Chain A
Amino acid sequence: MRVIEPPPPDPRLVRFEELFTCHHDDVLRYFVRRLDIRADAADLVAETFLVAWRRLDDVPKGEILPWLYGVARRVLSNHRRGESRRHGLADRLRDDLRTAVPAPEPVSVEAAEVFQQLSDTDREVLSLAAWEGLDTTQLAAALGCSRNAAMVRLHRARRRLERLLDNTPAGAKS
C-alpha cells in the first residue's frame, strides 16, 4: 500500500528558505563587523535566524533585512551582557569562520579610537547607515522607532562624530 503522496511544501518553509538564502550573508557581516572574534558570529547568526523562524508571522512582507537587523541588534546586546546561547546547530559555521582569511586591511588605530569615543547608540545608528547602508526608513525599522526619530538620531550622531574628528590630529582621518 504505497499510495501516500508527500505533503505539499509548507509555504512557511518556502518563505523562510528565501529569507535565509537572501539575507544570511548580510546578517553574518553585521555580526563580524561588531565582534572582535569572527567565530563568535556563528551562534549569533543562528540565534537571529531561529528568532526569525519562530516569529515568521511577525516578519514584515516588504523589507525584511532592516527587521532582521533589529533582531540581530537585540541578539548582539544579549551576547554583550553574557546572555547568549551556544548552538549545536552553529558548529559548522563556527568552524568555517575559523578558517584562514586574508587579513583585513588594518584600520587606523586613531580612527578606531575616535569611533570608540561615541556612545553605543551613536555608534550603532552610524554603523547601520555606513556599514549596512540603511536609509532613514530602514533605520527606523531596525531601531524600532519612527522615521523622524531615526533621522534625528542619525543627524545628531553624525554631528557628534564630526565634532570629534575636527578635534583630532589630521592623521586620524586618513
Chain B
Amino acid sequence: MTNSLDFIRTLDQTATADPATQVTPETRADLLRSITATPMPLKRPVRRRLVPVLAAAAAVAAITALVVHVPGDNNQPPQALGAALSFTTEGDVMKVRVLDPEADVARYNKEFQQQGLNITLRLQPVSPSIVGQDIAMSGNSDDPEQIIPGRYPKDCKGTPASPCVPEFTVPLGFRGQADLYVGRTAKPGEAYSSAGDITGPGEALEGVDFKGRTVGYVLGRLAERGFSAEYRVGAKSEQSASAPPSWVVQDAVPSSDHHVILFVETP
C-alpha cells in the first residue's frame, strides 16, 4: 500500500523552493525588532506597590521646584490644567516625570513636541498595583544613549506615605523615536495589558497566601471579592474554563477588575 505520508510530502511546495532562502537576515532582524517593540505584559518585582495617583502627583508638584521648564498650554491659563509632564535638565540628561498619569494623552504629546522630542506617551489599562508606573518602552534610535525608565523620587517606596511617579531619563539632544507606556486605571471589565503581583495592594488576592492551595480554596477567596477565574492547565498552560476544586494553584495573574487567570496542576 502507498505510504500516505510520503504521498503528502510530494505536495510540499517548500521542498524544492524554500521560502526561507528568500528572506534576508535584515528582514528577520527587522521583524524581530518590530515585534519586541510592541508592548507586552511585564511581570513586576513584588516591591512594586500601590501608587495613589493624585497623592503622587501632589507630592511631586511640591518637589519639582527644580523644574527648569514646565510647559503649559498657551491658549489656556496653565493653572486650569497644570502640566502633565515635568522636564528637568540634569547634566547632559533630561528627566521627564509623568505628573498626571490620568491626563489626556494629546497633552503629553504636545509637551514632548514643544521640547523637540519625538516621544509618544501611551497609557495602558493595568491592574491597580501598577497604575501610574512605567510598564514598557519601545522605539527606534541609532543613538547609543537610550531612554531609561525609572521612578521618582529615587528612594520612593510606592506607599501613600512615599509615592512614586514614572520618570524617564532622556539624553539631551535625543533624536530617536520612542513610545513610553504608562499604566492607567482600567475601566470596569477592561482587559489589563499589564498586571502587578496579584497579592499586591488593591489586587484580587491582596494579602492571600494562595500558591500551593487548592482551586476550591482560591476560588472561594476570589468569590468573596467578586472575582471570577479561568485556568491554564499543566506544563503547556492549556486554556480551560473550568478546573476540579481539588487541583492545585501554582500561580495567578490579574486579567481584569473582576477576572483572573489561575495556573493549575493536578494534585
Interface size on B, residues (CB 8 A): 50
Q: Which residues of B contact A171 (CB under 8 A)?
A: none
Whether A165 contacts B2 in the complex (CB less than 8 A), given A20-B35, A54-B41, A89-B35, comes out as: yes
Whether A115 contacts B11 in the complex (CB less than 8 A), given A28-B20, A29-B18, comes out as: yes
The answer, yes or no, to whether A85 is at the interface (CB within 8 Å) is no
Chain B nearest CB, measured from A109 CB (Å): 11
Contact with A along B27-56 (1 / 0, CB 8 A): 110111011101011110000000000000
Q: Which residues of A contact B79 (CB under 8 A)?
A: none
> What are 13 A-B contacts with C-beta separation under 8 Å?
A1-B93, A16-B35, A29-B18, A33-B14, A49-B31, A53-B36, A54-B38, A57-B253, A93-B31, A95-B27, A97-B19, A105-B15, A131-B8
Q: Which residues of A contact B17 (CB under 8 A)?
A: 101-105
Bound CA span A37–B104, Å: 43
The answer to whether A67 touches B236, judged by C-beta atoms less than 8 angstroms apart, is yes
Interface size on A, residues (CB 8 A): 64
Bound CA span A111–B9, Å: 11
Whether A104 contacts B13 in the complex (CB less than 8 A), given A62-B235, A129-B5, comes out as: yes
Whether A60 contacts B32 in the complex (CB less than 8 A), given A32-B14, A111-B10, comes out as: no
Chain B nearest CB, measured from A121 CB (Å): 15
Bound CA span A130–B4, Å: 9
Q: Which residues of A contact B18 (CB under 8 A)?
A: 25, 29
Whether A50 contacts B35 in the complex (CB less than 8 A), given A61-B235, A126-B5, comes out as: yes
Sample of 19 more A-B contacts, CB < 8 Å, known A1-B91, A53-B35, A89-B35: A2-B92, A12-B40, A16-B36, A24-B20, A28-B19, A29-B19, A32-B13, A53-B36, A57-B253, A67-B236, A89-B30, A90-B31, A101-B22, A104-B15, A112-B11, A129-B5, A158-B4, A161-B4, A165-B2
The answer to whether A162 touches B2, judged by C-beta atoms less than 8 angstroms apart, is yes
Which residue of A67, A99, A127 is within 8 Å of B22 (Cβ)? A99
The answer, yes or no, to whether B23 is at the interface (CB within 8 Å) is yes
Contact with A along B88-104 (1 / 0, CB 8 A): 00111100000000000
Interface residues of A in 1-40 (CB under 8 A from B): 1-2, 4, 6-7, 12-13, 16-17, 20-21, 24-25, 28-29, 32-33, 38
